[in-house]
């Protein structure tokens, strides 16, 4: 994993993290969710904590969006965040790399620790933080630049232009896009299909080699084939990165994640645990009602 978090305060770099954040409608809840066996999953095995919330509370003006949240997100695993519309999933995700800083009315209390350091400490540079915690949004949002320049963007901003070709190729291979674009790297990223654009955005996010990848409904704007490719990719990425993914789609959460956090109305984290247990044998009756479609 990476060097000490103290460099969060030292770097002055920009990452390609900005972009539209979409919100979608809840997808219909399927009658049956295939539950993996406990211990199965993309990144099975003991893992240390990468991100921890301690009494994390978030309000927009007078409206409380997250009630005190305590959670430990393990390193190099896929953690899914599920829950009904408006329960604070995106708010939680955006706390992790301080995207909420951009919202004037947003007030954050409590602690959000990344490798033990509170990301809201005064000496943390949010831009340096976002270099280590990349983000992918619901709507694919490539820059109006070539495929190559999209992937190279964050590296160039950081002045890391040595071995640029190799780094771009590696990110595109890691995103399962290289074979489809290697012969047309000079073409605009906007000319790719929606699913390819989303994998390009993933390549752009991982090219600067972050530790964490935050994904806000990364497949909800995609067709089933493209969704399946992105799901496969998410599982692969957990070999190298800590992945936190917000999804409305419970089947998807069950398929791709090792851990699942269930937020319910009012911004309450009601259950967090390994995905097989959360879906197969939840502790909370409210969570059981939610995942079986009795409300939500
Ligand atoms: N920029 C904002 N300004 C004011 N209120 C906001 C803002 N963003 C979110 N909220 C409010 O905070 C609450 C949580 O919203 P959030 O987008 O985090 O929920 P969500 O679970 O991700 O919803 P969805 O599944 O619909 O995307 C909602 O009541 C929402 O209206």
What is the atom index within ligand 1 of the atom nearest the CA of 94? 18
Task: Work out the percent of the chain whose per-residue pLDDT is above 70.
Answer: 84
Report CA(63)–ligand 1 centroid distance (Å).
10
Report CA(11)–ligand 1 centroid distance (Å).
30
Asked if the model's pLDDT at residue 9 lies above 70, the reply is: no
Q: How do residues 132-152 score in pLDDT, each as one tens digit?
A: 999 999 999 999 999 999 999
pLDDT at 34: 63
Does the residue 73 lie in any domain? yes
Specify the 3-state DSSP secondary structure of 22: coil
Does the residue 228 lie in any domain? yes
Please give the residue range of the domain that contains residue 83: 49-140+211-292
Q: How confident is the model at residue 224 (pLDDT cuts 50, 70, 90)?
A: very high
Q: How do residues 58-102 score in pLDDT, each as one tens digit?
A: 999 999 999 999 999 999 999 999 999 999 999 999 999 999 998
What stretches of the chain show up as alpha helix (H) in DSSP?
Answer: 89-96, 126-132, 147-157, 164-174, 178-181, 194-206, 224-237, 250-256, 275-280, 285-291
Does the residue 15 lie in any domain? no
Does the residue 17 lie in any domain? no
What is the atom index within ligand 1 of the atom nearest the CA of 267? 14
pLDDT at 25: 35
Contact, 263 vs 92, CB < 8 A?
yes
pLDDT at 218: 94
With a cut of 0.90, is the ipTM above it? Answer: yes
Hey, what's the torsion of the CAs at 247, 249, 253, 256, to 10 degrees?
-90
Does the residue 60 lie in any domain? yes
pLDDT at 191: 96
Does the residue 92 lie in any domain? yes
Range from 93-97, 219-223, 225-229 that averages highest in pLDDT? 93-97
pLDDT at 294: 80
Q: How do residues 166-183 score in pLDDT, each as one tens digit?
A: 999 999 999 999 999 999
Element (H, E) at 133: strand 133-136
Q: Whole-prediction pTM value?
A: 0.87
The ligand 1 site (C-beta within 6 Å) comprises 23, 60, 63, 65, 83, 85-91, 103, 105
Provide the domain count of the chain: 1
Pocket test for ligand 1, best of 89, 98, 108, 244 (most atoms within 8 A of CB): 89
Please choose, from the candidates 159, 134, 125, the residue with its C-alpha nearest in 3D space to the C-alpha of residue 8: 125
pLDDT at 199: 95
DSSP states along 60-128: ETTEEEEEEEEEEEETTSEEEEE-STTSSHHHHHHHHTTGGGG-TTEEEEEEEEETTEETTSTT--HHH
CATH number of the domain bearing residue 250? 3.40.50.300
CA–CA distance, 59 with 62 (Å, rounded to integer): 7
Q: How buried is residue 279: exposed, middle or buried, by Cβ count under 10 Å (0-12/13-18/19+)? A: buried
Asked if the model's pLDDT at residue 17 lies above 60, the reply is: no
Does the residue 104 lie in any domain? yes
Rounded to 5 degrees, φ, ψ at 10 are -95, -35
Report CA(60)–ligand 1 centroid distance (Å).
9
Task: Work out the percent of the chain whose per-residue pLDDT is above 90.
Answer: 79
């Amino acid at each position: 994993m990476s060097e000490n978090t103290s460099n969060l305060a030292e770097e002055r770099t920009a990452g390609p993290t900005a972009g539209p954040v979409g919100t979608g409608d809840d997808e219909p809840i399927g009658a049956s969710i295939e539950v993996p066996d406990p211990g199965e999953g993309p990144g099975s095995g003991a893992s240390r904590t990468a991100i921890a919330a301690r009494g994390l509370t978030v309000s927009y003006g007078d409206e409380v969006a997250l009630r005190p949240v305590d959670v430990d997100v393990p390193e190099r695993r896929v953690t899914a965040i599920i829950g009904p519309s408006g329960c604070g999933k995106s708010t939680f995700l955006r706390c992790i790399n301080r995207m909420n800083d951009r919202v004037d009315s947003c007030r954050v209390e409590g602690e959000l620790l990344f490798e033990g350091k509170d990301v809201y400490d005064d000496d943390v540079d949010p831009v340096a933080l976002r270099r280590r915690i990349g983000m992918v949004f619901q709507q694919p949002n490539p820059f109006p630049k070539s495929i190559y320049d999209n992937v190279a963007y964050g590296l160039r901003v950081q002045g890391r232009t040595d071995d640029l070709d190799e780094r771009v190729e590696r990110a595109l291979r890691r995103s399962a896009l290289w074979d489809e674009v290697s012969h047309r790297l000079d073409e605009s990223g906007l000319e790719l299909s929606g699913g390819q654009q989303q994998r390009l955005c993933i390549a752009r996010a991982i090219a600067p080699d972050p530790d964490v990848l935050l994904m806000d409904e990364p497949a909800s704007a995609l067709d089933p084939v493209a969704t399946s490719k992105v799901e496969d990719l998410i599982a692969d990425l957990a070999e190298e990165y800590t992945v936190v993914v917000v999804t409305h789609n419970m089947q998807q959460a069950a398929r791709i994640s090792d851990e699942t956090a269930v937020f319910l109305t009012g911004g309450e984290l009601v259950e967090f645990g390994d995905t097989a247990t959360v879906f197969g044998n939840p502790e909370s009756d409210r969570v059981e009602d939610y995942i079986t479609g009795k409300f939500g």
